[in-house]
Every structure is written in C-alpha cells, then in structure tokens.
Amino acid sequence: MATKIVLVTGGQRSGKSRYAQELALRLAPNPIYVATSRIWDDDFRERVERHKADRGAMWTNIEEEKLLGKLAVAGRVVVVDCVTLWATNFFFDLGSSIDEALALLKEELGRFTEQPATFIFITNEIGMGGHAENAIQRKFTDLQGWLNQHIAALADEVVLMVAGIPVRVK
C-alpha cells in the first residue's frame, strides 16, 4: 500500500466529518479515527462519547492531541479529526508562536504520513469568514491557513464541503 492523503475542508457544519467517515468506510471495513481534541469540560466529554458511540464498533478510536507521528497506522485507512484542533494544541502550548507551531506541525505530519496508509485529514477553512477581531485569532487564522496549504500541497485529493456537497478541488 502506498501513502495517500485526502484533505477534506470547509466551514463549520458543512458535512466534513460525515463525508470523511463515509469515505473511510468505503475504503476499509475497520478504519482508524484519530481524535485530536482536548477534553475541556464534562459537556465536551459527553459529546465525544456520543460521537464514538455514533461511529460504531467498526472504528478503532484513538485520542492523540499532538504526537500523531508516534501512531503506528501502516496499511490502514485513517481519519484525523481535526487539523484545526490539532494545530490549536501546538499554538497554545507554544505561547501562540506561529513559526514554532507550524514547524512542529509540519515535522509531526511528515513522521505520520511517511507510513504507507490512506490518510483523510479534516480541517476548517476559518479564513473564509469575517476578519478576526483580535490579534490572537488573526495569528491562529494565519497558522491554520498555512498548515492547510501545506497539507493540500501534499494531498492527492482535496475536497471542499459546501452545504453538505463535496466539491473536488484537487
């Protein structure tokens, strides 16, 4: 199996996760779901548990906030949900340093995707909305945009979700 990268992007509630999960299940009977989110409170923990239950037993669920490169996924189909939360973890842990976060994210991405597997990355197009109202939001929007561009350049396919409809970009 060769390495294949698919980037699924779009706005909030555009159908990205549904599309990515359906694609993964068409490609493999038992895909891996890598959740990058941190659990902030009890309400969010309940949401995470509900999503796990909704996905069903055919999924292997892995929670990893940052170090994707340590995951052994060779030969598998892997959904990473999501790049935005993954980048957030580096950004805030590094005191909002765009340069440091982007460098570490690219290194980690390289380690992760050097494995022969099919990777389906879900990300947000946060720069498509209005201009961020404060400096920290603007910095994160820059980081997210540059990371999305990097992954898109590596990707074999890029799909933009618009109102639940997949639009092939690459």
Catalytic site residue from 51, 52, 55, 150: 51
A 10 A CB-CB count for 71 gives 18
Two structure tokens written together for 67: 């170090």
How many angstroms separate the CA atoms of 19 and 61, rounded? 17
Helix (H) or strand (E) holding 80: strand 77-81
Our answer to whether residue 51 is catalytic in this structure is: yes
* Strand ranges for the chain from DSSP E: 4-10, 32-35, 60-63, 77-81, 118-122, 157-162, 165-168
CB 92 within 8 A of CB 100: no
Residues designated as active site: 51
